[in-house]
Amino acid sequence: MQRSRINTIIAEADAFIRSHGYVMPPFAYWSPERMREDDAADMRARGLGWDITDYGAGNFVEMGLFLFTVRNGSVADLSSGRGMLYAEKIMISRKDQLSPMHRHNLKAEDIINRGGGDLVIELYAPDTDGNIDRKSNVTVPTDGLMRTLPAGGKLVLKPGESVTLMPGIWHAFWGEGADCLIGEVSTVNDDKTDNIFEMPIGRFSNVEEDEAPSHLLVSDY
């Protein structure tokens, strides 16, 4: 992705988030120079901040996701079972924009429709080897109620609704009807190693530096 396009997406995303009454933390607006300072080292290590991905495929409109990591523990905390064991993100899935089929080995997450369009999530259970089970039903908690869908079933979350996805559950999602503001509350988030995709794609975008960044991405750290 061109850096100029990333800068535009950040500005558009910030406006969309504000339109739903969500207030970003002050460090969201730090300059690249400020984010590179020594006192921000822990924030960089934990991957806090802006994250724009086209999964390396080069077509953000059709396959991509906007994310901002607000808070995040560390894998060391998770391993010890003590400390900051949680993470939070705010995300935007644009209308009909696919976040492709994937699972996590460690992360359990609540995916929450915070507003805008419907959020459609395609779900599969894992087989005994962790691969997609294309025959078995999949059962997930939705706001305290258990929902069972057939393999590949599409769960539609209206604004305010949520689903809990445990490690191993395969899922892909997109906004339907309009762009969708999404909240994610999870155990510690490790985007470098804990995303297993069905397709041979990457987690982060390849960036073409055609202009200076307005803000650094987590992948710039």
* CATH number of the domain within which 81 lies: 2.60.120.10
pLDDT at 79: 86
pLDDT digits (tens, 9 = 90+) for 192-208: 999 999 999 999 999 99
Q: What's the pTM?
A: 0.96
Of the candidates 117, 102, 103, 92, which has an alpha carbon nearest to the alpha carbon of residue 178? 117
Is it the case that residue 11 has pLDDT exceeding 90?
Answer: yes
What range defines the domain where residue 77 resides? 3-220
DSSP letters spanning 59-79: -TTTB-EEEEEEEE--HHHHH
In whole angstroms, give the CA distance from residue 158 to residue 116: 9
Provide the domain count of the chain.
Answer: 1
Owner of token pair 């599969």: 124
Query: What average pLDDT does range 163-173 have in this prediction?
Result: 98
pLDDT tens-digit map of 47-63: 999 999 999 999 999 99
pLDDT of residue 78: 87
